[in-house]
């Protein structure tokens, strides 16, 4: 039988998480509402189905059907693209694939790999859904296990082709390298940003005996480095699908982004997570969580969405005095048209009318060179009639004071969300203006972030850049 796919386009990709990843397994346990997907070694991994779905979604429908297959009642066609699971890299930069052996030759246990050790106690991110009045919604508390920033993964792709044309593989690799490519859930709330560390590539013609022999010598295990791979030049990122915003923020006072629990010193602690750093020799170093400053992207998203809705209603001349309490519900929170367009919508109770957000945001994670200055603030609730303390109402919180550190917040706005559908051009211009005004408010110190904002926490001063050009300073 004639082999119609005589060409094989092979690629090996190593990527690094620039922000934490959420690759859900669909399970939960006693510690968290959502556990990340884990392999046979109980280590995080990215399923091949996740990668295939992301790649398929990035291609035009015609190319989806041609290269990744389809199925209808009348006919079906298999995928020509084969993907492996993405496995994590160990402390020394090698993929961990297959059953892991922790014992040395003499039968004594080696010192456990630092990356593996971190994977046994993955961070758990707490979330609280806040309504337009600034208070927690009923049943709005949930948490999820995450893969920390800096974790590296390796996976391989194989494309079967009749012509041996590199064009489609180049397109896929270019997509993976683009700034808008995100992996996992929560990509609109701070998670999923990646960078490509390296790409290896090789095209083989199986009708040539030398190429066939080389192809058959390739192992399916990611641990075994195939000698046939050659370096692939990373393409320059020229993605123009997004409008890029960069905010350089300087805190003016205390910051507080709660971890959702306390310790022996305070009732509520500052959120912290360990991160992984790689040196020039591709060796991993674990940065302890006490040395890391974290501003969750979800906290920034919520504040921006609320302020965008405020400015949009102002531009539309929609004021509370003119509306009843029932009518106002259509103009606030997630029902606001500007919020739905930019930040997405969960739909109704039946899950209908869902809409994906058009803004990509990442966590702000910084590792300062100097020791962080922490402070525990005590609070007590005062009885408004007696002026004395309410019994049992003493509480404390751990805040962070870091005015010498500046933070960079990056946002990407999908350009088509504003430019498409010319009949709503005027309204979308108002949405666009409201969003940029909200960003400016953040830089002016008018829009605080985090907890305790009514007590003076979370104010910033900063500079706003749009596509590299300063629009507020």
Q: Is 403 helix (H, G, I), strand (E, B) or coil?
A: coil
In sequence order, the 6+-apart residues with CB closer than 8 A to the CB of 327 are none
Per-residue confidence (pLDDT) for residue 101, from 0 to 100: 65
- Average per-residue pLDDT for the chain: 86
DSSP 413: E
DSSP state of 202: E
pLDDT digits (tens, 9 = 90+) for 74-128: 888 888 899 999 999 999 999 999 887 654 434 445 567 899 999 988 988 887 7
For 349-367, write each residue's pLDDT tens digit: 666 777 888 999 999 998 8
**H helices, E strands: number in the chain:** 10, 22
Is residue 281 domain-resident?
A: yes
The pairing of strands 152-161 and 81-83 is antiparallel
Cα dihedral 289, 459, 252, 128, rounded to 10, equals -20
Note whether residue 396 is domain-resident: yes
The answer to whether residues 393 and 273 belong to one domain is yes
In which residue are the tokens 């309204």 written?
427
Residue pLDDT, tens place only, 213-223: 999 999 999 99
By residue range, what is the domain housing residue 22? 7-231
- Based on the fold, state whether residues 91 and 137 are members of the same structural domain: yes
Say yes or no: 277 and 397 in one domain: yes
Would residue 112 count as lying in a domain? yes
Beta-sheet pairing, 275-278 with 373-382:
unpaired
Question: For the chain, what is the domain count?
Answer: 2
Nearest C-alpha neighbor of 15 from the set 182, 151, 179: 151
Here the tokens at position 93 are 């930069």
CA 181 – CA 194 distance, rounded (Å): 7
Identify whether 257 is part of a domain. Answer: yes
In this prediction, residue 237 carries a pLDDT of: 61
Among 212, 231, 250, the domain boundary falls at 231
Same domain, 256 and 149: no
Residue 221 lies in a domain: yes
User: End of a domain among 206, 231, 256?
Assistant: 231
Q: Encode pLDDT of 254-302 as tens digits.
A: 999 887 777 878 888 888 899 999 998 899 999 998 889 999 998 999 8
Cβ–Cβ < 8 Å for 437, 245 = no
> Do the domain assignments include residue 236?
no
Contacts with 418 (C-beta within 8 Å, 6 or more apart), sequence order: 243, 428, 429, 431, 432
CB-based burial label for 289 (10 Å; 0-12, 13-18, 19+): middle
Please give the pLDDT value at position 43: 93
Are 347 and 468 in the same domain?
yes
- Nearest alpha-carbon partner for 81 in 161, 6, 173: 161
- Name the residue with higher pLDDT: 227 or 422: 227
Q: What is the DSSP letter of 429?
A: H
Structural element, H or E, at residue 419: helix 416-419
pLDDT of 457 strictly over 80 = yes
pLDDT number for residue 104: 40
Least confident range of 82-91, 132-141, 250-259, 332-341:
132-141
Query: Tell me, what DSSP letter sits at residue 37?
Result: P
Q: Which of 184, 167, 161, 147 is nearest to 38 (CA)?
A: 147
Q: Is residue 170 within 8 Å of residue 95, measured between CB atoms? A: no
On whether both 341 and 381 belong to a single domain, the answer is: yes
Please determine, for residue 1, whether its predicted confidence score (pLDDT) is greater than 50: no
3-class DSSP state for residue 440?
Answer: helix
Residue 87 has what DSSP assignment? E
- Three-point CA angle 236, 237, 243, nearest 5°: 155
For position 106, what pLDDT does the model report?
41
pLDDT at position 71: 84
More confident residue, 307 or 374: 307
The length of the chain is: 473
Of 96, 92, 83, the residue nearest 45 (C-alpha): 96
Domain final residue pick, 231, 255, 279? 231
Output the CA–CA distances (angstroms, integers) from residue 430 to 34, 166, 173, 438, in the order listed: 38, 43, 36, 12
Q: Is residue 237 part of a domain?
A: no
Whether 301 and 323 share a structural domain: yes
């Amino acid at each position: 039988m004639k082999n119609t796919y005589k060409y094989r386009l092979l690629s090996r990709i190593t990527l690094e998480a620039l922000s934490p990843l959420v690759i859900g397994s669909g399970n939960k346990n006693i510690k968290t509402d959502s556990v990340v997907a884990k392999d046979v070694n109980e280590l995080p991994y990215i399923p091949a189905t996740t990668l295939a779905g992301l790649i398929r979604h990035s291609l035009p429908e015609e190319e989806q059907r041609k290269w990744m297959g389809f199925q209808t009642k009348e006919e079906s066609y298999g995928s020509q693209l084969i993907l492996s699971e993405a496995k994590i890299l160990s402390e020394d930069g090698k993929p961990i694939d297959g059953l892991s052996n922790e014992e040395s030759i003499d039968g004594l246990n080696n010192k456990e790999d630092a990356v593996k050790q971190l994977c046994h106690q993955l961070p758990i991110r707490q979330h609280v859904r806040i309504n337009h009045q600034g208070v927690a919604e009923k049943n709005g508390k949930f948490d999820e296990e995450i893969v920390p920033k800096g974790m590296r993964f390796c996976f391989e792709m194989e494309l079967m082709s009749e012509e041996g044309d590199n064009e489609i593989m180049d397109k896929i690799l270019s997509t993976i390298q683009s700034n808008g490519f995100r992996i996992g859930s929560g990509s609109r709330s701070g998670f999923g940003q990646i960078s490509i560390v390296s790409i290896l590539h090789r095209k083989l013609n199986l009708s040539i005996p030398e190429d066939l022999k080389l192809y058959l010598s390739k192992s399916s295990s990611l641990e075994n480095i195939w000698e046939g791979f050659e370096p692939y030049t990373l393409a320059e990122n020229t993605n123009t699908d997004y409008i890029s915003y960069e905010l350089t923020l300087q805190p003016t006072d205390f910051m507080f982004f709660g971890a959702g629990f306390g310790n022996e010193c305070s009732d509520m602690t500052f959120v912290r997570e360990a991160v992984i750093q790689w040196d020039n020799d591709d060796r991993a170093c674990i940065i302890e969580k006490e040395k890391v400053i974290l501003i969750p992207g979800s906290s920034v998203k919520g504040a921006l969405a609320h302020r965008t809705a405020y400015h949009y209603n102002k531009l539309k001349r929609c004021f509370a005095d003119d509306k009843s309490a029932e009518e106002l519900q259509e103009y606030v929170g997630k029902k606001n048209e500007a919020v739905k367009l930019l930040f997405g919508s969960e739909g109704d109770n039946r899950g209908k009318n869902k809409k994906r957000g058009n803004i990509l945001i990442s966590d702000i994670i910084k590792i300062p060179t100097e020791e962080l200055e922490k402070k525990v603030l005590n609070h007590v609730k005062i009885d408004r009639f007696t002026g004395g303390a309410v019994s049992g109402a003493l509480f404390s919180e751990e805040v962070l004071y870091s005015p010498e550190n500046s933070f960079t917040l990056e946002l990407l706005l999908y350009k088509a969300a504003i430019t498409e559908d010319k009949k709503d051009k005027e309204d979308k211009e108002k949405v666009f203006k409201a969003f940029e005004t909200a960003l400016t408010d953040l830089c002016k110190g008018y829009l605080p972030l985090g907890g305790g904002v009514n007590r003076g926490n979370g104010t910033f001063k900063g500079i706003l850049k749009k596509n590299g050009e300063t629009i507020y300073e």
